[in-house]
Chain A
Amino acid sequence: AQTVTQSQPEMSVQEAETVTLSCTYDTSENNYYLFWYKQPPSRQMILVIRQEAYKQQNATENRFSVNFQKAAKSFSLKISDSQLGDTAMYFCAFVTTSGSRLTFGEGTQLTVNP
């Protein structure tokens, strides 16, 4: 069974600074996809970034980037130049290429302070 662990229930950062959210996962599969989702107070689940395990290059989407360490089964999210609108719950998620079931971590509540 696949598991996803986010060890930081809460984090805070000052506006314009950089913050890194941690995620580790466990799987015996070699091919899979990893995601970070953002859930602001509106409760909408928004896809932030996606990484294919077979790609060594870390994914980047504007101010959001990941540090994917396959051997360590680690998938952290870096948010640069944090903005007040980044305040949200962030979920790390995982799915194998052979399956469809998306498994989520427990989430990290990020607060960006002015």
Chain B
Amino acid sequence: DAGVIQSPRHEVTEMGQEVTLRCKPISGHNSLFWYRQTMMRGLELLIYFNNNVPIDDSGMPEDRFSAKMPNASFSTLKIQPSEPRDSAVYFCASSRRQYGYTFGSGTRLTVV
């Protein structure tokens, strides 16, 4: 089992550009989560999916953020247009019910 796979590991982009973060959950896990981690706010849940359906997106900061899960093995988090305050580490995690939540290695996003 390769675990939760996130790409890219690092992303540096200019303000105003579109950024797409990718996640491949563990096979058989039916829930997928996107978290953002910053020093100021800690770990924030942005959105989560159950069986590919978005359940709670109340943590998505604004309309510039969008997430999709077209199938059970792939999800994206898109920021358009990006702003410097979006700089953070973005984690994807997956789980099978509440038995355990496995996190990916995260994407460190820097918007300059």
Contacts and interface: CB of A to CB of B under 8 A. Distances in A.
Interface of A: 33, 35, 37, 42-47, 50, 91, 93, 95, 97, 100-104, 106-107
Interface string B78-105: 0000000000010101010111111101
Contacts of A102: 33, 45, 93, 95, 101
A107 B101 contact: no
A106 B42 contact: yes
B55 interface: yes
B105 A47 contact: no
Contacts, number: 49
Contact of A104 (B43, B50, B56): B43
Interface of B: 31, 33, 42-43, 45, 48, 50, 55-56, 89, 91, 93, 95, 97-103, 105-106, 108
A33 B97 CA distance: 11
A93 B33 CA distance: 14
Contacts of A33: 98
A101 B56 contact: yes
